Amino acid sequence: MGAGRRALITTAITVVCAVTVLAAPGTAFASPSPTPTPSATASPTPVTNKDLEAVRAKLDDLYHDAAVATDAYNAAEEQTRKQSAQIVELAKKIVKGQEKLDELKDRAGAAARSQYRTGGLPDEAQLILSDNPQAFLDGAGRILQGQRATKGLIAELTRTQDDLKQYTADASAQWQLLEKNRQAKAAAKKTVTTQIAAAEKLESQLEKKEKERLAKLEQQAALKAQTAWLDSGVLKDISGKASAEGKAAVAYATAQLGKPYEWGAEGPKSYDCSGLTSQAWASAGDPIPRTSQEQWKQLKHVDVKDMRPGDLIIYFDDASHVAMYIGDGAIIHAPRPGRTVTIAGAGSMPILGVVRPDA
């Protein structure tokens, strides 16, 4: 190991922290002071487990923030799709409304021309001047029907014009919302890529053996959390059997094991956490919201002791991660960038709650 490795790791954490802060909108900063160059004669300083724990904690923060931003991106993406579809439907209504309006105008014009040909005389005058009063009286009923039809035509014309105005106003409002969501997507994408790049930069400062030690520390932390969860006796109360849909969802998720995590991805080659769970349940014939936060908000909540395979476990206070419970205290999930879809302990992360898609 080269001289000053420990100082380099400490500096890397500091730099990464600064980069992520400066990436936030509206952050002011002063020109940095030159970074001291480690002395060529300094004795090698080993990177301790405490140093690596600091790296692990910072990586957890970076990837957590990236997950939150990914959820925001996915939500904006889903809204954009819905709004685009609504705009298409409104455009169809506008076209049909305009065609109907043109037809009604033609009919109204024909009615006006017919009235002009009769001279626009009142019925009494036409009766007096008629050479055949009986024929006129026989046609009076038809005249009244025609007048009612004309009034109905005018009323329908007015309604169609009003509908057309409303469709146009709705389309304009949807365009504004669409643009707002496009901006939200762009902002979320920038945050995601910034956080992931910062995490990758931090990890790149480690040598191979240090990365191996870091991975071992991560495994130990996950095992410690899982052990504490199991020691609470939670599994003795969990005995729910999977529904047919739940079995299908678990089968789908299991078939994705080993595929890479990719933020914003919904398969089939890669997934993010909620992309995996939403596609698994869609394949089971029960579509659910796209993001972990909306899955937490919209799906039925169940107690941990009542959960069964296929249920979704939501993690962290901000519902920024989701996994599928598969039984025996285990989950399948897409963890984070640089990892693959894998099986892990259900209690290896802080559990917010459990939701059931097929309630």
Tens of pLDDT, residues 165-203: 777 777 777 777 777 777 877 887 888 888 888 888 887
Burial class of residue 314 in the structure, from the number of CB atoms within 10 Å of its CB (0-12 exposed, 13-18 middle, 19+ buried): buried
Confidence label for 107 from pLDDT (cuts 50, 70 and 90): low
With a pLDDT cut of 70, the percent of the chain lying above it is 72
Give 342's strand partners.
333
Percent of the chain with pLDDT over 90: 33
Between 103 and 221, residue with greater pLDDT? 221
pLDDT at 214: 85
pLDDT at 334: 96
What number is the average pLDDT over the span 328-350?
A: 94
Q: Over the chain, what is the mean pLDDT?
A: 77
Instruction: Report the pLDDT value the prediction gives residue 111, as an integer from 0 to 100.
Output: 61
Please give the pLDDT value at position 127.
44
Rounded to an integer, the average pLDDT of 288-292 is 93
Between 328 and 7, whose confidence is greater? 328
Query: Mean of the pLDDT values across residues 70-88?
Result: 77
Which residue, chain included where needed, has tokens 């504004």? 176
Task: Flag whether pLDDT at 261 surpasses 60.
Answer: yes
Q: Which active-site residues does the annotation give? A: 273, 321, 333
Taking the model in full, what pTM does it have?
Answer: 0.62
Higher pLDDT, 345 or 49: 345
Beta carbons within 8 Å of 225's beta carbon, 6+ residues apart: 345, 347, 348, 349
Q: If pLDDT is split at 50, 70 and 90, which confidence band does 112 have?
A: low
The span from the first CA to the last CA of the chain, in angstroms, equals 56
pLDDT at 284 over 80: yes
**What are phi and psi for residue 324, nearest 5 degrees?**
-105, 130
Most confident of 69-73, 153-157, 239-243, 295-299: 295-299
Q: Which residue has the higher pLDDT, 257 or 359?
A: 257
Can you give the pLDDT at residue 316?
A: 94
- Burial state string for 138-164 with b = 16 or more CB within 10 A and e = fewer than 16: eeeeeeeeeeeebeebeeebeebeebb
* Separation between Cα atoms, residue 180 and residue 177, nearest integer Å: 5
How sure is the predictor about 148, in pLDDT bands with cuts at 50, 70 and 90? low
pLDDT tops 70 at residue 138: no
Tell me, what DSSP letter sits at residue 350? -
- Of 61, 23, 59, the C-alpha closest to 318 is 61
Least confident of 25-29, 83-87, 160-164, 228-232: 25-29
Structure tokens that stand for 149 in this block: 């039809």
